[in-house]
Amino acid sequence: MRCATAIDILQHPAETRVAKNTARICKLCVPQTQIWIGQDPADFAALQAELAAETRVVWLLYPSDLAQPFGELIAAVQPQVGVRLLLLDATWKKAYKMWQLNPWLDKLPKANLSHLESNYRIRKSPKSHYLSTLEALAYSLAALEPELDTQPLFRAFHAMQGHFQVRDVRRAPAATGLDAPAD
C-alpha cells in the first residue's frame, strides 16, 4: 500500500522484541513507514534534523490534553502541502515516558482520535479511545487520504488480534473456564 502521507513511528526499544509489534506490521503494510527505535532525545537526533527541514505539516498523533481532534487539523491543512505523521509505539506507560523525555515532541502540533473507540483487545489501555499504533495509523490514513484503500491495515489488525487471542486461549485454558472444578 502506498500513500502520500509520510509516516514516522518512534518505537520504544522493548517493543522490538514483542511478538505483537504493531509498528512492524505498519511497515509491512505501508513500506515507506520509517521506524525510529529509541527512548531519549539523542536516539531521535536524526529524525529531529529531518523535521527541522520538513516542508510538509508535521503532526504528532498522541492523546494529550492539548491535542486537537484529527478532523479539525485535516480541515485546516492545504492539500498540496502534505502531512508527515509521527506516532509513538510502546506500552502506554512507556509512551508517556518517551513523551516526557522528549520535550521536542511537545512543540509539535498534536492530534488525537478521541472520537474513536479502540478495538484492541490483546493489550490493556487506560482509556477506551487510546488506540494501538496500527489502529491509529489505519484511521489516520483513512481520514487523510479518503481515496486510499486502508483495508490492508485493518485486515492485518484483525488477523493479529485473532492470532494472539487464539494463542492466549491455548496457553491459559483456565481462563476459559474449561478447567473449572465441578461442584
Helix (H) or strand (E) segment spanning residue 62:
none
Q: How far apart are CA 147 and CA 150, in angstroms?
A: 9
What class has domain 6-172?
A: alpha beta
Residue 177 pLDDT: 39
Which residues of the chain are under the pLDDT cut of 50? 116, 118-123, 127-129, 163-183
pTM tops 0.85, yes or no: no
Whole-Å CA distances, 135 to 26, 67, 171, 177, 178 = 9, 18, 26, 30, 32
Residue 181 pLDDT: 37
Residue 168 pLDDT: 41
Q: Sketch the domain layout of the chain as residue ranges.
A: 6-172
Instruction: Provide the 10 A C-beta neighbour count for residue 45.
Output: 13
- Mind listing the pLDDT tens digit for each residue in 16-54? 887 677 888 889 888 999 999 999 999 999 999 999 999
3-state helix, strand, coil in the chain (%, to 5): 45, 15, 40
Residue 21 pLDDT: 79
CB 73 within 8 A of CB 115: no
